Amino acid sequence: MSNPEFKPYVPAESDMKEFTFKAVFLGVIMAVVLGAANAYLGMRAGLTVAATFPAAVVAMAALRGFKGTILEENIARTTASVGEALVAGAIFTIPAFVISGVWDSLWTLEHLIEGALIMLIGGSLGIMFIILLRRTMVEEADLPFPESVAAAEIVKAGQGGSTGASYVFGAMGLGGLIELFKNSNGIFIIQDSVTKFFSFAQSKIQFLGTGTIFGGGMKLETPSASPALVGVGYIVGYNISAVLFAGSILGHLVLVPLALFLNPALQEFASTGQSWTAISDEVWFRQIRPLAVGTMIVAAFYTLYNLRTSLMAGIGKAFKDLQRVKAHTGKISRLEIDLDFKKVIIAIGVLAIPQFILYHYFSGSLLGSLLLTVVLLVVGFLFSAVAGYLVGLIGSSNNPISGLTLSTLLISAVLMVAIGVTGVKGVTAVLAVAGVVCCAAGIAGDMTQDLKVGHILGGTPWRMELGEIIGVLVAGVMLMPFIAVMDKVYVIGSAQLPAPQAGLMALMANGIVGGEMAWPLVIVGVFFALGLILIKAPSPMLIAVGMYLPFSSTAAIFVGGVIKWLMDKKMADNSAAQKTKAENTGILLASGLIAGESLMAVILAFIVLGLNVSGSTFTLAGLSPGNTAWLGLVIFGILFYTLNKVPVKNAQSVQS
């Protein structure tokens, strides 16, 4: 039952307009736009940012001109944030089909349909599971729901006339403009970062009486002049960005130089004309990243182990809720009405059919398909419950769905090997299961957060759930082409789109099912993770991700974290109201920068694709008079002013 002391912003007795065409239509448009932006961001940075905040602000601004109510704004925001959650599940797994080599490209009709089906099935299941779990998850008094509370406060503040939309759209314009001039597919005049290789002096070391010459060197790189990455660092804060950057230092400035120094044979590549910068990149890509994957594997399970109490509580609550499916009896408040539980359970059963068909299509095994379907339903439900519960504790942006997905992948891979389904068919089947579970867990976490915001504001649960369903159906169909276009233009698995989580899934699937695991490097990574755990290093998973990502990306994220730290330090002596104002303004600006750069990158990708298809020789890059790194330095000055000075100045308008 609801907490009797709780009072929503809109009373239960209100008949205020809520589920309207304009609200749903706006939500669907935002779901696709924000989903596309997060697809690029997630594959580039290995992180996604909850769309709840920008979606809430845009909904307030857009519906205000149509006299929209706060509940209509809530429906639009709820529908919109589905795009980010669904694409987070997709980009952590679907690119693995390409990285693993089982698909040559995402840009074929067959693979577009397969990817869309994975997203639709996973997203739909995530919604159905959380509908069954809503009461306990959303109304649990001891769950803080940090992002839900923050989003609800922004919406409440917006009812006073100030929506904050000017900050979001202004920052979007700035981020998009910078990306237009720094993207190699745009009017390329801003060099993203600068790289320089410094050779070590040669050292002669005696081995078993024989002198061996060692050399090598170190590649140094500046942070990427990226508004999106700096924005990510600003939102996650100094502590998380510092740990991520520490991992990058270990990978790029410790392990890569060490590998170059300890392997004199690499000198042969340099003598044939290969640059030391290229050799350094290959060492990182081919040797250090597999080591980082071994670290990620242990770190993922260690993260889940640390959350074991919360995990067990979430699973326990899931089973308790299943025993309460007949709770809707008699006359009850609209705030307690979900979609019909019986129909939801039937829908889950019906969704098992396309799951079975999809897995049989991939694996070619009747027994394997049946096993995978059962695994998906059981594990998918449990992990959706876990994801929803964890979001209540730490927020959607920090939801560890990659760790949950990895667990599913390992279970599925072992089952496939046990029944003899190996090779390409086994890899594709396992990745398909991982994709469905990852999408389900992503949607489950996001939906729990959205339902909590609605609970605070006084939204009707069944209307929000219906909005989520519509959002998933549209986004599931529309977002796969965006992911495919970015693969075609930027290349998934490259330095531009490293897609670290998908790389981990690909390595695990190939390693266990396909027999291609780089075991020595992975095992070293495992022991490295154990060392981090023993010294109680903060977040071994983030350290591993930092090793896996390009140095320029993690350095830019760290710059964002430092800017946030400086702002917090400057606001330390101000009132709580002023601190909150600065915090909210900064989040809106950072969200706008992320959306602006990401959307411009997507737009440029479609422009390139369109020009290639038409056979045109025109390129935006041809309009560039040349590029320089000095302009990149100017970008950091602009970003510092935007994310530090503007929030502080805005906070001064609040009475102490």
Q: Please write the tens of the pLDDT for every residue from 121-169.
A: 999 999 999 888 787 778 754 666 767 777 787 787 677 666 577 888 8
With respect to residue 334, please indicate whether it lies within any of the assigned structural domains.
Answer: no
Asked if residue 46 lies in contact with residue 541, where contact means CB atoms within 8 angstroms, the answer is no
Range with lowest mean pLDDT among 131-145, 331-345, 427-441, 558-572:
131-145
Instruction: Give the DSSP H or E segment for 217.
Output: strand 217-221
Q: What is the mean pLDDT of residues 242-256?
A: 94
Give the pLDDT mean for 54-77: 88
* 405 located within any domain: yes
Q: Reply yes or no on whether the pLDDT at 394 is more than 60.
A: no
Taking 60 as the threshold, does the pLDDT of residue 420 lie above it?
yes
Q: Around Cβ 550, how many Cβ atoms within 10 Å?
A: 23
pLDDT surpassing 90 at residue 528: yes
The contacts of residue 587 (CB under 8 Å, 6+ apart) are 53, 150, 235
pLDDT at 517: 64
Q: What pLDDT, on a 0 to 100 scale, did the predictor assign at position 161? A: 61
Q: Looking at the domain assignment, is residue 355 inside a domain?
A: yes
Whether residue 395 has pLDDT greater than 70: no
Given this model, what pLDDT does residue 575 score?
86
Residue 322, pLDDT > 70, answer: no
Please state which of the ranges 114-128, 233-247, 286-300, 452-466 shows the lowest mean pLDDT: 286-300
- pLDDT tens for 87-96 read 888 988 899 9
| Per-residue pLDDT reduced to its tens digit, 402-411 | 666 777 787 7
Among 333, 370, 294, 315, smallest CA distance to 532 is for 294
Q: How many domains does the chain have?
A: 1
**Residue 379 CB contacts under 8 Å (≥ 6 apart), including other chains:** 407, 408, 411, 437
Residue 328 has pLDDT above 60, yes or no: no
CA atoms within a 13 Å half-sphere pointing along the CA-CB vector of 286:
8
Report pLDDT for 250: 95
Q: What does the pLDDT average to over 531-538?
A: 92
Q: Quote the pLDDT of residue 317.
A: 58
Helix (H) or strand (E) holding 346: helix 341-363
Residue 167 lies in a domain: no
Higher-pLDDT residue of 307 and 176 is 176
pLDDT of residue 141: 44
Say if residue 330's pLDDT is above 60.
no
Burial 599-638 (b: 16+ CB within 10 A, else e): bbbbbbbebbbeeeeeeeeebbeeeeeebeeeebeebbee
Tens digit of pLDDT for each residue in 564-611? 999 999 998 888 888 888 988 898 898 888 878 877 887 887 788 778
pTM: 0.74
Residue 42: predicted pLDDT: 81
Do you know the residue count of the chain? 656
For residue 23, the model assigns a pLDDT of: 94
Give the range of the structural domain holding residue 455, as residue numbers without chain letter: 16-162+199-327+339-579
The pLDDT score that the predictor gives to residue 325 is: 46
Q: What is the sign, positive or negative, of the torsion defined by CA atoms of 444, 447, 449, 455? A: negative
- Which one is predicted more confidently, 537 or 340? 537
pLDDT greater than 50 at residue 562: yes
- Pairwise pLDDT comparison (325 vs 312), residue with the higher score: 312
- Of residues 404 and 421, more confidence is placed in 421
Are 594 and 175 contacting, i.e. CB atoms less than 8 angstroms apart?
yes
- pLDDT at residue 342 in the model: 82
Average pLDDT over the chain, rounded to an integer: 84
**What is the rounded distance in angstroms from the CA atom of residue 163 to the CA atom of residue 620?**
36
Mean pLDDT of 512-540: 85
Residues 177-222 pLDDT 10s:
999 999 888 899 998 889 999 988 888 888 777 777 888 899 999 9
Percentage, residues of the chain above pLDDT 90: 29
Q: Are 127 and 465 in contact (CB under 8 A)?
A: yes
Chain-centre distance of CA 524, in angstroms?
A: 27
The answer to the question of residue 634 being in a domain is: no
Q: At what angle do helices 70-91 and 146-158 cross, to 10 degrees?
A: 140
Give the pLDDT mean for 394-409.
Answer: 66
637 has a pLDDT exceeding 70: yes
- When pLDDT is cut at 50, 70 and 90, the band that residue 329 belongs to is very low
Give the model's pLDDT for residue 324.
55
Asked which of 182-186, 218-222, 326-330, 356-360 is least confident by mean pLDDT, the reply is: 326-330
* pLDDT attached to residue 399: 61
